[in-house]
Structures are given as structure tokens and as C-alpha cells.
Chains A and B, each alone.
Chain A
Amino acid sequence: MDFLTLLQVLDSSLRLATPLLLACLAGLFSERAGIFDIGLEGKMLAAAFLSAAIAATTGSVWLGLLAGVGASLLLSAIHGLASITLRGDQIISGVAINFLAAGLTVVISQDWFGQGGRTPPLLSGGRFEPLTLPGAMPAKEISQAGPIMQLYSELLSGHSLLVYVALVMVPLTWFVLYKTRFGLRLRAVGENPAAVDTAGISVVGLRYAAVGICGVLCGIAGAYMATALQAGFVKDMSAGRGFIALAALIFAKWRPWYALGACLLFGFFFAVDNRFQNILLPAWVMSGVLLALGLGLIVYVRQKTLLDRIVLGGLGLGLAIVAGLIALSSLSAGLGSMIKIPVVFIQSLPYVLTVVVLAGFVGKAIPPRSGGVAYVKEK
């Protein structure tokens, strides 16, 4: 793989990471304030639909963006009403919002455009066009340029405005959360709302503010998907990205800079999956890695309780058996023969990594202490 191909993959990683990053930061605000949000997916989907629909009918991408943010905010308001004011179950509310968005977007778009749950393709004014940074080379000449110029023109330049917005949101989120009074209070309300209440600050107000910010960011994420990444809305186009953003949030341990890293990593998996259909590894490497993992797990649980030994030991045994099967099946062709890594493996990697992080094998992910619990004011 040459340098330019690598840059192209990274370029596509950045583009695919953008909706994840926006949704991840959205979830970060909400969850840091103690409101769990399973509904990121639904909000992105609703925003993607309405932004594409409005951009298609008015021809203005900015109106589309505004409408998308509005749709997402409406769902945020439902989530806030259910989980802050009515002290309902935040998870159930999020689940409901996901279904609401999945159903309504298709029902409305079918009635509105009659194109099987999609919007008409967006023309030039209805999309966020790629911006060419000053001094960047046009695509045709890039292959002749030097490495620095290639890096600048291919990776940094040529993205739509919202990609840069998402990148700027990372330091901004960090600043708001850690360097402002509002951020301190927001974090406090997720850890110990009673203390915040005692200080005479409104818990309800802070939590609504957090849920509102979450809505705005999810709205931008959705609008980006429909008006920049693609040209129009397709049924179920969020395709689990909201959940991957949630995974990235946990992977990042609810911190903004880590969120950037996690989203870029998951975006990279997407880009690799898109570009390379066949990733080959020598059989002995694949078999060896699995065997080492399996044996490692078995050694790790030797001294633990019976349950640990059954579950983790069983898992380790399973991995070792798979390693053995790979080795056996490649014996005829020799252990040095190349084996194709299943596509689904790359696709499942974000979820697997999140489970590993959640399990506390690689650092411990500790959620905000009062997350998911409604606050009842003392009387």
C-alpha cells in the first residue's frame, strides 16, 4: 500500500467518523449530566430525514440543517419530558424514540415524496459541498505532489464544512466541560445532583440544557449524513451509527479528546471495510493470535471463582479451538498460506472492542455516578 492510498483511507475515515463524533459528543453532554441516551440513533435518523426533505423542497442546505436540528430537538424534548420531568425510565424512553424515528421517517417520507421511503436526490445547492482549503491541489494533480502536499490536499482539504465543525467541537466540548462554570455544574449534576441542588442551582434546568445540546449535535450529525456524506435520505440510513457512537462514548470513557480518538478509530474500521474487500493474513498469524488470546484467558482465570472459570475459561477454550480449526484447515496449503479475514469481523470490531472495554480488561470505564437516575427533590 503506497502513501497516497493510506491517505485516501484516512480521508475516508475522517468523513465516516464525523457523524459518529458529533453523535458521540452529543451523548457525552447528555450522559455527563446524568441522562442516559439510547436514542442518539433515532435523533440522527429523524434529523437526516427532515434535513434532506427540507433541503430537497427548498433547495437550501442551510434551511435543511435547521430543520434537521429542529427534528432532533423535538425528540430531545420528549426524552427530557420523560426522563427529567416525569422521572420515567431513560432507557425505555430512548428505545421508544428510536422506534418513533424509524417509523415516522418512512411513513412521512412515503406520503411526502412517494419514493419508497427516500427523499429525492439532492442537487448542488441542497448539499454541503467539499471545501477546498487555500493552496490545496486539485484531485487530478495530487499523485505528482510531494508527501506533505498530498497530506494537506487529500486528508485535510476537501471536506464539507460540517467535518470541520465536528473537529472544532472537540476542543470546544473540552473547554465547556472543564473550563467553564456551566461545565463544572453539568458534570456535577451527573455525579451528585443533590449537592448541586443544595448549592441552589436548578438540577432540572441543567439537565434540560444538556439534553438540548445533545439534540443540537445529533441534529447536525443527522444532517451531515443526508446532505454531505450522501445526497438524500434513505430509509434506516443511520444503520446503527447512533449505537456505534454510544460505543465510542464508552470506549472514550466519557471524555472529549478520547471521543475523537475512538470515533476516528471506528471510522477507520468503516473505511477499511469499504475499501478492502479482501484482507489477507498468513494462517499462522491468525491462528497464533487467537491461540495466544485463548490461552491467555485460561491462564488468567486459573485462580478465580468457578463462574469466572466457566465463562472466561470457556471463551478462552472456544478461541483456542477456532485457532486449531484455522491451523488444521490450512495444513494442506501450508501454515504460511494466506487466509481472508471475514468482512463481518471488521464490521463487528467496534462492538467487540466496546464490550472488552466495558468488561474492564483494558482500563475501567466508569460512567457518571448518577447516570440513569431521575432526581427527586427533597421536600
Chain B
Amino acid sequence: MGIMPKWADVVLVPLISLIIAALLSALLILAIGESPVAALKLMIEGTLLRSSGWGYMLYYTTNFIFTGLAVSVAFHAALFNIGGEGQAMMGGLGVALVCLFIPWPHWTFAIIGASLGAAFFGMIWAGLPAYLQAKRGSHIVITTIMFNFIAAGVLNFFLVGALKPKGSMDPATANFPAATHLPTFEDMAGLLGFEKMFRAAPANVSFFLALVACVLVWFLIWRTPLGYEIRAMGKSEPAARYAGIGSVKIIMVAMMISGALSGMMAINTTQGESERLILNFTEGAGFIGIAVALMGRSHPLGVFLAALLFGFLYQGGAELALWTKIPRELIVVIQALVILFTGALTLMVRRPLERLFLSLRRGG
């Protein structure tokens, strides 16, 4: 540490990793006989140059902010929460129960109730692995992976059983009552007098909830004693314990906050978009949270920017799949490369940079 200035560590390393990932993806696009430049142009046209493109992008971004923050909070305590997917599924169950069985007078109340339900269910689903790690020493990575699969089983059980309306064939709950409908960007733009903006796009008020979550997580991690304790645990467990910070408490609390954040993703997808609980509504967003957190260096601002980037990639990828023969899975490859270069191969990017700065310093 200390070889590179802080700005280089925070900005340059992720940026270079991203450029490498982009170059490799461009090569892949070339290899399947398409033009990377045309692909990028198409992605930008379908995303940034149309208000409905923005509406889709921000919808995905909302998911990724929640799951990215979730992974970040756990990272600060040196815990790897790979179970965002399962926690989000359980969060969806929480949202569905709250929206279906409580007669809400207005969406403002419903979103608070749904947030609590989603956070509570996600919290429980992260709390069990946390407990097993804290008290029983079971590796949290493995338990959270297992809990992803178990969550899928639980969700399936309820959607083909108790929560499926009678006579319906598809595994989903009944539609939520109209009073729980969250205003979409289209509704809001309409209120402000901009008709025909964000038409049919799924982005909704929960985007602002995600922004609030960013600020709250920043405040928690850097401005409260609990955040200090979480970071201390993450830096060195023996040192933290010596300072009187209980590791059991921190593991439990950090993971439960993480699970609550993952769970809250479901407000956007379930209450905001589909307005009923469906199977596979998470669509891998829990895993994208890992890439977002790594890219954003576990800082809420970084997470926000990385979530925007991945929102752009997701909407752009859908455009590509629509107009070219590049399948949507290209985005999964980009996501893998980002995770690889920002998370596992960091030394490959960092070492040459450190050498560069060292020689610059000697020269100057």
C-alpha cells in the first residue's frame, strides 16, 4: 500500500479492468462476425437516446444497486455473501405476502410495508448462514450457495402450491391489488406534464428507494460506531476482537443487513414491475451484485455507478439480442470478465500500475 496514490487505486484500477473486459468482449463480437462498433452504437441508441431505454436501464439499475450494496456491506466485514439470489427470492415472498394479505389504502403505505416484508425475509435467509458461520464455523460461501438452491425450492413450493390462485396454470401468485401499484417513471412524467415519456418502461419509484439505500449504507459504514466495527472486523478479526468487538455480533448484523438489502430488490421487480410474484423473477441479479460490488470497490457511490453501467449493459444487451445475432448471454460473458479482472486478477492490473507509479516517483 502507499505505492499508488489513492485516486489511482480507486479510479484507475477498476477503469483499466473494465477496458480489458470491454476489449475482450469486442474480440468476441468480432469472432462471431459482428462489428463491435455497430454493437456499441446500437446499445447506446437503445438505451441512452430513448426515454423508454432509460426507463429499462434504471429498472435494472435499481436491482443492481440493492444487490451490489448487499454484497458490499458483507465485503466490509470480510464476508462473501454469494446468496443474494436466494435472499432476493425470499424477499419476493415477503413482498407478495404483504401485498396480497394486507389491505393497503395507498401505495405509499404499501411500499413501506413491502420494504419491511422484503427486508425481513431477506434478513432471515441471510441470518441462518450468518449464524452457522458465527457459531458453528461453517463456511459462509458454501452455506449461502446452498441457501440459494433451498430458496428456489421454497419459492417453487409456494408458487405451485399455496399461493397460486385456483384454476391458474402458471406458477405465480394472484395479481396484487391495484392500491399497491407503484408509480412508474411514465406515471410520474405524466404528472409533471411530460406525456409519452418512459412509455411502458418498468422503472418505478423504488429507484429512489435504492438511492436512499445508497446514502443510508454510506452513513452506516462510515459514520456510525457499528460501521466502524464492521470495517474493523473486515480488516483484521484478531485486532477487532482485541478491541472488544464481538465477531459473532458483527457477522450476524452485517449479514442480516446484507440480506435485507438483497431482499429489497424484490420491491422493484415484484411490486413495481410484474405486480405479482413469479418464478425466476431475480434473473441472476443477486449474482450481478458481486460484479457491481467489486467494480464499485464496495463504496455506495461506486456501487451506484457500477449498477448504472450494468443497467446499461442489460438493456443494451436486450437490444443487441433483438437486432443482431449476438445473444443476450454476451452480457454474462462481460459480467464474468469484470468479476475476473476486478476481483481475481487484480494483481495483473495492479502490478504494472504500481511499477509505473514507482518509476514516476523516482524520476520526479
Q: Taking A96-B343, A348-B149 as contacts, is the C-beta distance between A110 and B135 under 8 angstroms?
A: no
A88 touching B287, Cβ below 8 Å: no
Return the contact of A95 from the options B82, B329, B345 (Cβ within 8 A). Answer: B82
B339 touching A360, Cβ below 8 Å: no
B346 touching A111, Cβ below 8 Å: no
Q: Which A359-377 residues sit within 8 Å CB-CB of chain B?
A: 359-360, 365, 367
Q: Taking A100-B333, A311-B128, A354-B142 as contacts, is the C-beta distance between A348 and B153 under 8 angstroms?
A: yes
A240 lies within 8 A of chain B by Cβ: yes
A103 lies within 8 A of chain B by Cβ: yes
Task: Please give the distance in Å from A317's CB to the nearest CB on chain B.
Answer: 13
B294 touching A110, Cβ below 8 Å: no
B333 touching A91, Cβ below 8 Å: no
A299 lies within 8 A of chain B by Cβ: no
B343 touching A354, Cβ below 8 Å: no
Task: Please give the distance in Å from A262's CB to the nearest CB on chain B.
Answer: 14
B331 lies within 8 A of chain A by Cβ: yes
Q: Which B28-60 residues sit within 8 Å CB-CB of chain A?
A: 28, 31-33
**Interchain CA distance A209-B103 in the complex, whole Å:** 62
B138 touching A358, Cβ below 8 Å: yes
B136 touching A360, Cβ below 8 Å: yes
**Interchain CA distance A348-B157 in the complex, whole Å:** 11
Return the contact of A307 from the options B137, B252, B343 (Cβ within 8 A). Answer: B252
How many chain B residues sit at the interface, stated as a range, is 35 or more
B32 to A, closest residue via Cβ: A111
Interface string of A78-102 (1 = CB under 8 A from B): 1001110011111111011111101
Interface string of B328-364 (1 = CB under 8 A from A): 0111111111011001111110000000000000000
B150 lies within 8 A of chain A by Cβ: yes
**Interchain CA distance A340-B121 in the complex, whole Å:** 27
Main secondary structure of the interface of B (DSSP, over half): helix
Count of chain A residues with a beta carbon within 8 Å of a chain B beta carbon? 53
| Subset of 30 A-B contacts with CB under 8 Å | A38-B82, A38-B145, A82-B340, A87-B347, A88-B343, A88-B344, A88-B347, A90-B344, A93-B345, A97-B340, A99-B287, A99-B332, A103-B329, A103-B334, A107-B28, A110-B325, A111-B32, A114-B325, A243-B146, A243-B149, A348-B149, A348-B154, A352-B146, A355-B143, A355-B150, A359-B132, A359-B136, A360-B137, A365-B138, A367-B139
A20 lies within 8 A of chain B by Cβ: no
Q: Taking A100-B333, A103-B333 as contacts, is the C-beta distance between A95 and B135 under 8 angstroms?
A: no
**Interchain CA distance A3-B135 in the complex, whole Å:** 45
A99 touching B335, Cβ below 8 Å: yes
Q: Which B128-171 residues sit within 8 Å CB-CB of chain A?
A: 128, 131-132, 134-139, 141-143, 145-147, 149-150, 153-154, 156-157, 161
Cβ contacts under 8 Å, B128 to chain A: 311, 315
B336 touching A100, Cβ below 8 Å: yes
Which A residues lie at the B interface, using CB under 8 A? 36, 38, 78, 81-83, 86-93, 95-100, 102-104, 106-108, 110-111, 114, 117, 240, 243, 246-247, 250, 307-308, 311, 315, 342, 344-345, 347-348, 351-352, 354-355, 358-360, 365, 367
Task: Please give the distance in Å from B152's CB to the nearest CB on chain A.
Answer: 8
**Interchain CA distance A246-B134 in the complex, whole Å:** 21
Extra inter-chain contacts (20) besides given A82-B345, A86-B345, A104-B28, CB under 8 Å: A38-B145, A91-B80, A95-B339, A96-B337, A96-B343, A96-B344, A99-B332, A99-B336, A102-B336, A103-B334, A104-B329, A106-B327, A110-B327, A243-B145, A307-B252, A351-B146, A352-B146, A358-B136, A360-B137, A367-B139
Cβ contacts under 8 Å, A81 to chain B: 345
Task: Please give the distance in Å from A22's CB to the nearest CB on chain B.
Answer: 20
Cβ contacts under 8 Å, A348 to chain B: 149-150, 153-154
**Interchain CA distance A78-B33 in the complex, whole Å:** 26
A78 touching B147, Cβ below 8 Å: no
A359 touching B138, Cβ below 8 Å: yes
Cβ contacts under 8 Å, B142 to chain A: 246-247, 250, 354, 358
B337 touching A100, Cβ below 8 Å: yes
A103 touching B332, Cβ below 8 Å: yes
A-B pairs with lowest CB-CB distance, top 10: A103-B332, A99-B336, A103-B333, A92-B343, A93-B344, A358-B138, A348-B153, A88-B344, A100-B336, A96-B340
Task: Please give the distance in Å from A355's CB to the nearest CB on chain B.
Answer: 5
Cβ contacts under 8 Å, B287 to chain A: 95, 99
**Interchain CA distance A265-B193 in the complex, whole Å:** 63
B127 lies within 8 A of chain A by Cβ: yes
**Interchain CA distance A111-B334 in the complex, whole Å:** 17
Cβ contacts under 8 Å, A246 to chain B: 142, 145
Q: Taking A107-B28, A311-B131, A351-B146 as contacts, is the C-beta distance between A93 and B329 under 8 angstroms?
A: no
Q: Which B176-219 residues sit within 8 Å CB-CB of chain A?
A: none
**Interchain CA distance A102-B288 in the complex, whole Å:** 14
Cβ contacts under 8 Å, B254 to chain A: none
A102 touching B153, Cβ below 8 Å: no
Return the contact of A106 from the options B156, B290, B325, B329 (Cβ within 8 A). Answer: B329
**Interchain CA distance A311-B290 in the complex, whole Å:** 27
Q: Taking A250-B142, A348-B150, A358-B142 as contacts, is the C-beta distance between A307 and B131 under 8 angstroms?
A: yes
Task: Please give the distance in Å from A300's CB to the nearest CB on chain B.
Answer: 13
**Interchain CA distance A98-B127 in the complex, whole Å:** 26
B135 touching A308, Cβ below 8 Å: yes
B150 touching A352, Cβ below 8 Å: yes
A82 touching B344, Cβ below 8 Å: yes
**Interchain CA distance A335-B161 in the complex, whole Å:** 21
Task: Please give the distance in Å from A357's CB to the nearest CB on chain B.
Answer: 9
Cβ contacts under 8 Å, A347 to chain B: 153
Q: Taking A103-B329, A359-B132 as contacts, is the C-beta distance between A92 and B339 under 8 angstroms?
A: yes
**Interchain CA distance A98-B134 in the complex, whole Å:** 28
B141 touching A38, Cβ below 8 Å: yes
B8 lies within 8 A of chain A by Cβ: no
Cβ contacts under 8 Å, B347 to chain A: 86-88
A79 to B, closest residue via Cβ: B344
B239 lies within 8 A of chain A by Cβ: no
A87 to B, closest residue via Cβ: B347
B248 lies within 8 A of chain A by Cβ: yes
Cβ contacts under 8 Å, A104 to chain B: 28, 329, 333
Cβ contacts under 8 Å, B156 to chain A: 344
B150 touching A360, Cβ below 8 Å: no
**Interchain CA distance A347-B157 in the complex, whole Å:** 11
Q: Which B241-298 residues sit within 8 Å CB-CB of chain A?
A: 248, 252, 287, 290, 294
